[in-house]
Amino acid sequence: MTRRAVVTGVGHYLPERVVPNAEFEATLDTTDEWIRSRSGIERRHFAAEGEGTSDLATKAAQAALKDAGIEIDSVDAIILATSTADLTFPSAATMVQAALGMTRGFAFDVQAVCAGFVYALANANALIASGQCDRILVIGAETFSRIMDWTDRSTCVLFGDGAGALILEAKEGQGTSDDRGILSVDLHSDGRYRDLLYVDGGVSTKTTGYLRMQGNQVFRHAVEKLAATAEAALDKASLTSSDVDWIVPHQANIRIIQGTAKKMALPMSQVVVTVQDHGNTSAASIPLAMSVGKQRGQIKEGDLLVTEAIGGGLAWGAVVLRW
């Protein structure tokens, strides 16, 4: 028998304010048509004044706990993937812990930018497989609107705010690829690519800074590395792309999503796409897509999912899981 980390609940939260592309036409030399055709994005949500990443994360977590039908004190750990924590410290995860009324266990943030949720799943899987935890709340939450340079049309139209959450629970499997739960993980980073995507501020500069990106360079790395990591993860689980029911990709750009699916020889009808409604919500995009995909009736129990992401670092990776 093999201990598997199985998804038993999922939920998400999006801030109330929806910003359509057309809103940027008033302040920037851009058009709805340019944003739509180059990125696939039609609208995104922005957090309200005073609404922090931990607030979005808490609401997504509450939805996932409700979906799983469990109380917070039955959870052993909270792992929160974010690059936009409310404060330098404490971690946003401990703020969520307090907000949920969790009086036991432990909580920490994972920072791997847009690959954050994949890294968080890898951590949760390791804690469950090793027997240290039985139940983990894994959240991706971001307020990238706070690190946008609103005068830079090549970045500020691409990102949005939001949060998604999963409950992962230890269950015994047969140790085969027919098991439910996380079946394999493939992680990478290469710090030599720092200048392609970074924030030009932080503690040692005593500023928050703004996101800076060489979009076309990131694009090139994305298509090549995402298909490779997804295939490597499938290989580790003794599976191939023909076994996959759904790709749940990081939602950065529809052209990256299409390019990756094509390289994997899978049709777009097997890809969960939410980028048109959310923009790029960094570490939140994958759990948001999982939650919306389940709500739409796309993702069902027993389906084989491969989820992949790349972001600043560069950091990238993939997880194969049976829902």
User: Three-class SS of residue 223?
Assistant: helix
Q: Least distance to ligand COA from the beta carbon of 157, Å?
A: 5
Q: Are strands 197-199 and 161-173 parallel, antiparallel or unpaired?
A: unpaired
Catalytic residue flag (residue 114): yes
Residue whose structure tokens are 């240290």: 132
CB of 296 to ligand COA, least distance (A): 23
User: 130 or 216: whose CB is closer to ligand COA?
Assistant: 216
Cα-based angle 247, 252, 258 (whole degrees, multiple of 5): 50
Pairing of the two strands 135-143 and 161-173: antiparallel
Q: Which is nearer to ligand COA, 21 or 298 (CB)?
A: 21
Overall size of the chain counted in residues? 323
Is position 156 annotated as part of the catalytic site?
no
For residue 123, indicate whether it is catalytic. no
Q: How far is the CB of 39 from ligand COA (least distance, A)?
A: 5
Look-up of token digits 């992962």: 168
CB of 185 to ligand COA, least distance (A): 19
User: Nearer Cβ to ligand COA, position 82 or 253?
Assistant: 253
Name which of 146 and 236 has its Cβ closer to ligand COA: 146
* Phi, psi values for residue 14, rounded to 5°: -125, 135
Closer residue to ligand COA (CB): 11 or 311? 311
Q: Which of 159/323 has CB closer to ligand COA?
A: 159
Question: Whole-number minimum distance, CB 160 to ligand COA, in Å?
Answer: 12
Q: What's the CA gap between 161 and 84, in Å, rounded?
A: 10
- Name the active-site residue from 12, 45, 156, 250: 250
Fill in the amino acid letter for 270: Q
C-alpha distances out from residue 140 to 14, 32, 245, 285, Å: 12, 28, 23, 7
- Spatial distance between the Cα atoms of 315 and 189, rounded to a whole number of angstroms: 4
The β-bridge partners of 7 are: 168
**Residue of minimal CB distance from ligand COA?**
215
Q: Which of 12, 21, 45, 114 is catalytic?
A: 114
Burial zone of 145 (CB within 10 Å; 0-12 exposed, 13-18 middle, 19+ buried): buried
| Marked catalytic residue, from 21, 125, 253, 280 | 280
Give the footprint of ligand COA on this chain (CB under 6 A): 30, 34-35, 38-39, 114, 153-154, 157, 213, 215-216, 218-219, 252-253, 256, 280, 310-311
Per DSSP, 151 falls in state T
The residue assigned the tokens 């979009």 is 215
Residue 117 near residue 81, CB atoms below 8 Å: yes
Smallest separation, CB 171 to ligand COA (Å): 32
Q: Which residues are catalytic?
A: 114, 250, 280
